[in-house]
Amino acid sequence: MKKLSLAVLAASFAFVSHAFAAEAVGTNRVINEFPDGSISQEEGLENWQKFFEVASHPRCANCHVGADHKPMWSGPSFGDKARVHGMNINAGESRIGAETLLCSTCHVTLKEPDPNANSIAHAAPKVAMAWQLAPVEAEWFGKSSSYICNQLKDPTRNGERTIKEVAIHLDHDLILHWAWEPGGTREPAPHSLQETMDALMKWSAAGTPCPE
């Protein structure tokens, strides 16, 4: 019988970044550089807090889950109580659901970014890349500010990126942009994408201080 290769499928879907950006998150985003030491420790922590508000927001954290590979449903549109994603969804080690049910079976892939694609309330969000969970090392859901802070600056857990590269990743990765334009009745992540990138760069310039 015909056998589709898991590995081939995973390779073709996983972690593809597109270089173009969507309108509603702004098209004139820039990586603002701040000289090392130009931002105080205190201001650095304030900027970390800003980033943490984004990272811990349901639009981001729901898919930054741990090794059980189960995305979450939480946030005001799901009521008071966080629950695991309905339908017994498990994205597997592939983090794209290749072992059982592909994320992209429901979260279908758009040809091009389109903020109107998610206008139907409660429908499966979709973007112009394959829907997937964040890598398991980047577990955020339910984690403390301190934990996520130390994780984000640890190259073994952030995809071997400098903080600037993390900011560039935010700039380029379309699945992340969805957090600010989720559509339907979902509440967007706080701040703006540009502000979030700036917060990261300022936190970096302050020497990546972390809260206790």
Partner 1 sequence: MGRVAKIARRTFLIGSAAIAGGVAFGVYAVKKDPDNPLSADLSDGSATFNPWVLVDSEKMTLITPHGDKGQGVMSSQAALIAEELDIEFGQFETSFGKPSPAYWNRAFAEEGVPFMATDHGFTAETMRSIMGGVVKLLGVQGTGGSTSMADSFDKLRTAGATARETLKLAASQKSGVPVGQLKTANGAVQLPDGTELKYTELASLAATIEPVKDVKLRDESQWRLIGKSMERLDIIDKSTGTLPYGIDISVEGMLHATVCVNPKKGGSLNGFDASEAKQMRGVKDVIEITDGVAVVADNTWRAFNAMRTISFDWGNATIPPEQEEHWATLSDSFKEELLDSTWRDDGDAEEAFKEGASFSAEYRSPYVAHAPLEPLNAIVLVTDDQVEVWTGHQLQRQLQVLVAAITGHEQDQVILHNQFMGGSFGHRLEFEHVKQAAEIANKMRGTPIKMTYSREEDFAHDFPRHISMGRGQGMVKDGKVTAIDLSLAAPSVMASQGGRANLPFPGPDSQLAAGAWNNPYNIDTYRMTAYRAPELAPTSSWRAVGAPAAGFFFDSLLDELIHEAGADPMEERIRLMGHDVSRKVLETAAELSNWGSDLGPNRGRGVAFVESFGVPVAEVVEVTNTDSGIKIDKVWCVCDVGTIVDPINFENLVQGGVVFGLGHAINSEITYSDGKADQSNYHMHEAMRMYQCPDIIVKGLENGTKIRGIGEPPVPPAAPALANAIFAATGTRLREMPFNKFIDFV
Partner 2 sequence: MKLTVNGNTEEVNVEPDMPLLWVLRDELGITGVKYGCGIAQCGACTVHVDGVAVRSCQMRVGDLDGEVTTIEGLGSAEKLHIVQEAWIEHQVAQCGYCQSGQIMQAASFLEFNDDPTDEEIDTAMSANLCRCGTYPRIRTAIKTAAKNIREA
- Residue 72 in 3-state DSSP? strand
Q: Which of 122, 156, 160, 212 binds partner 1 (CB under 8 A)?
A: 122
Q: What angle do CA 202, 145, 173 make, to 5 degrees?
A: 60
Task: Give whichever of 1 and 19 is closer to partner 2, judged by the CB atom.
Answer: 1
Count of residues that interact with partner 1, criterion CB under 8 A? 5
Summarize as ranges the residues that interact with partner 2 (CB under 8 A).
1-4, 6, 86-90, 98-102, 104-111, 116-117, 120-124, 126
Task: Give whichever of 66 and 190 is closer to partner 2, judged by the CB atom.
Answer: 66
List strand residue ranges (DSSP E) for the chain, in order: 72-73, 83-84
Task: Give whichever of 78 and 147 is closer to partner 1, judged by the CB atom.
Answer: 78
- Residue 51 in 3-state DSSP? helix
In three state form, how does the secondary structure of 87-131 look? CCCCCCCCCCCCCCCCHHHHCCCCCCCCHHHHCCCCCCCCCCCCC
Q: Report if residue 35 touches partner 1, rule: CB under 8 A.
A: no
Q: How far is CA 51 from CA 22, 69, 207, in A?
A: 21, 24, 15
Task: Give whichever of 62 and 104 is closer to partner 2, judged by the CB atom.
Answer: 104
Task: Enumerate residues 78-97 that contact partner 1 by CB under 8 A.
Answer: 86-88
Q: Residue 3 is which amino acid?
A: K
Q: Report if residue 116 touches partner 1, rule: CB under 8 A.
A: no
Q: How far is the CB of 123 from partner 2 (least distance, A)?
A: 4
Choose the one of partner 2, partner 1, none that binds residue 111, judging by a C-beta under 5 to 8 angstroms depending on kind.
Answer: partner 2
| Six token digits for residue 158 | 């952030």
Site of interaction with partner 1 (CB under 8 A): 86-88, 121-122
